[in-house]
Amino acid sequence: MRFAVVALALFGIWLLFSGLYAPLLLALGVASSLLVAWIAERMGLLAPEPDAAWLRPLRCAAYMPWLAWQVAKANADVAVRILSPSKGISPRVFRVPSTQRSDLARTVYANSITLTPGTISIDVSRDAITVHALSREGAEELAHGDMGERVSALERAP
């Protein structure tokens, strides 16, 4: 079942991005989608995880606009730092605690950090994420923990 879902999703993405509807190209798209799904299955990537985590869909829907706002604010901050050299940068590497219970939620947290301009997740461990920040203010805002708490709230109770 997972194989079919992955193959169909891959073909749907291929069709969306290619926009090609000639019979030969459609056949090649189907073949490549099946090949990638088969390789993923052989690698064990489609096997269900015993402690598979799920996120709360409604909370995820509320998290996305908040994250978009954080990205917009950080983008403006980076633009100001570029256009106004007096504002300056003060790069630093630090660790933020990761209170998420699942690998999925930790991944969402690390990706949210990286999506925010001026910060990049460097390393993810069970209890912390190592981050490079462009400025002291960006590091302090991230260390405050609001993003981590919001991502933790996305997880379903075990």
98 and 38, same structural domain?
no
* Separation of alpha carbons 21 and 82, rounded Å: 45
Per the structure, the count of domains in the chain is 2
**What digits encode the pLDDT tens for the residues 29-85?**
999 999 999 999 999 888 776 555 677 888 889 999 999 999 999 999 999 999 988
In the numeric block, which tokens belong to residue 72?
Answer: 């917009």
* Separation of alpha carbons 69 and 52, rounded Å: 29
In a domain, 100, yes or no: yes
In a domain, 141, yes or no: yes
In a domain, 51, yes or no: no
95 and 34, same structural domain?
no
**What digits encode the pLDDT tens for the residues 76-113?**
999 999 998 888 889 999 999 999 988 889 999 999 99
In a domain, 28, yes or no: yes
Average pLDDT (144-149) is 92
Return the HEC string of 15-51: HHHHCCCCHHHHHHHHHHHHHHHHHHHHCCCCCCCCC
pLDDT at 68: 96
Q: How many CB atoms lie within 10 A of CB 114?
A: 15
79 and 37, same structural domain?
no
User: Is residue 85 within 8 Å of residue 136, measured between CB atoms?
Assistant: no
Residue 151 has pLDDT above 60, yes or no: yes
In a domain, 62, yes or no: yes
- Which structural domain, as residue segments, surrounds residue 36? 2-42
78 and 31, same structural domain?
no
In a domain, 14, yes or no: yes
In a domain, 50, yes or no: no
89 and 29, same structural domain?
no
pLDDT at 52: 56
38 and 62, same structural domain?
no
33 and 69, same structural domain?
no
